[in-house]
A and B are shown apart, each in its own frame.
Chain A
């Protein structure tokens, strides 16, 4: 079975520019997560989707970050405008359900560098 797919794998932009990341979860997984991982740290949740509904976006900086999951499958995370401090790895994960019994499957991440 195909894993979680993310693109692009790497992105270098200048500050104040917009950037978008795309994620395709494992087929049939209703729950999708976007995480931010800074160097030397564990991932931190940005937003969680159940199908097309964002059920937890409390950690998403809504002044510059936005996300969507149209049709409850693929998802896009956008930053506009990007700041130097946004340089990090953005990880997408999916799971069959939000139940605590299920593990999350992670994509390879998008490594963002803001200059």
Chain B
């Protein structure tokens, strides 16, 4: 059974700091991995989608990497801003068309 774990569960950093969020999954047989952002009281917004054949994706200050063999992904946020404060969720898309989500990392960026 696929399990997705995110570390740390919560993170507080000063504005301007570069940071890394971690995601691990137990079964490497995935189609893709996505990073989502969730603001309080709102739905999820897709940030980056990495196909199983890719190693990384970049969007602005965000960079996500994928290492299928080790079952790991990282989301790198450069020069963090208070507007980055949110919960970041990692999700893997597996065989059987199921998306398995991690519990998320709650990020707070202090001004």
Q: Hey, which bits of chain A sit against chain B, CB under 8 A?
A: 4, 40-45, 48, 55-56, 91, 93, 98, 100-101, 103-109, 111
Q: Are B98 and A107 in contact (CB under 8 A)?
A: no
Residue in A44, A103, A109, A111 whose CB lies within 8 Å of B101: A44
Q: Are A103 and B49 in contact (CB under 8 A)?
A: yes
Q: Taking each of B44, B52, B101, which has the highest tally of chain A beta carbons within 10 Å of its own beta carbon?
A: B44
**Do A42 and B41 contact each other (CB < 8 Å), given the known contacts A101-B32, A101-B51, A104-B46?**
no
Q: Taking each of A4, A55, A105, which has the highest tally of chain B beta carbons within 10 Å of its own beta carbon?
A: A105
Q: B52 — which chain A residues lie within 8 A by C-beta?
A: 100
Within the complex, the shortest CB–CB distance from A34 to chain B, in Å, comes to 13
The interface size of chain B toward A, counting residues with CB under 8 Å, comes to 25
Residue in B43, B45, B102 whose CB lies within 8 Å of A109: B43
Majority secondary structure, A binding face: loop
**Do A100 and B32 contact each other (CB < 8 Å), given the known contacts A45-B99, A56-B98?**
yes
**B14-22, B78-86, B89-97: which lies at the A interface?**
B89-97
- The answer for the CA separation of A111 and B46 in the assembled complex, in Å, is 21
Within the complex, the shortest CB–CB distance from B86 to chain A, in Å, comes to 14
Within the complex, the shortest CB–CB distance from B8 to chain A, in Å, comes to 13
Q: Are A108 and B32 in contact (CB under 8 A)?
A: no
Q: Are A103 and B103 in contact (CB under 8 A)?
A: no
**Do A42 and B102 contact each other (CB < 8 Å), given the known contacts A98-B97, A100-B31?**
yes
Q: Are B42 and A108 in contact (CB under 8 A)?
A: yes
Q: A104 — which chain B residues lie within 8 A by C-beta?
A: 44, 46, 99
Residue in B31, B89, B96, B97 whose CB lies within 8 Å of A42: B89
Q: A41 — which chain B residues lie within 8 A by C-beta?
A: 103-104
Within the complex, the shortest CB–CB distance from A65 to chain B, in Å, comes to 18
